[in-house]
Amino acid sequence: MVKLCVGAEEIGDLEAWQKRLMRSYPQPVHHTRMVPKQVDELLDGGSIYWVIKGLIQVRQKITDIRVMADRNGRKACELVLDPEIVLVEPTPKRPFQGWRYLKPDEAPADIKRDSKAEEIPPSLHAKLKEAMVW
């Protein structure tokens, strides 16, 4: 699943938002109006890939999907996420509303911790990759 991280300028904003959430919840959660139809696939190792500043930059494993009612009594969804935020190869993504399914073969690869790629700003990393320099 891919989702815009609205209001975030950098990965640190997502981390800070989720730390605030975890004062009230044991794990980070994300609320959405639409309930995914591919629940089994998402719970079988699926992740939410966050788009920050036009780039897919990080992902979090989805650990649970809870169907609930919103304030108006309409069906809604709570995605329960693993607190670990995993850096991925920065991949350009145009703006869209809501969330989209991401085919496994189109998902950006994880960046290994302690690699040189982790030190490069995501926007520069994406430009180097696009120019086939990286």
> What would the pLDDT profile of 30-88 be if each residue is shown by its tens digit?
999 889 999 999 999 999 999 999 999 999 999 999 999 988 888 899 999 999 999 99
Report the residue count for the chain: 134
What proportion of the chain, given as a percentage, has pLDDT over 70?
84
pLDDT-derived band at 129 (thresholds 50, 70, 90) equals low
CB-based contacts of 83, cutoff 8 Å, min separation 6: 18, 22, 27, 28, 60
Output the pLDDT for position 70.
84
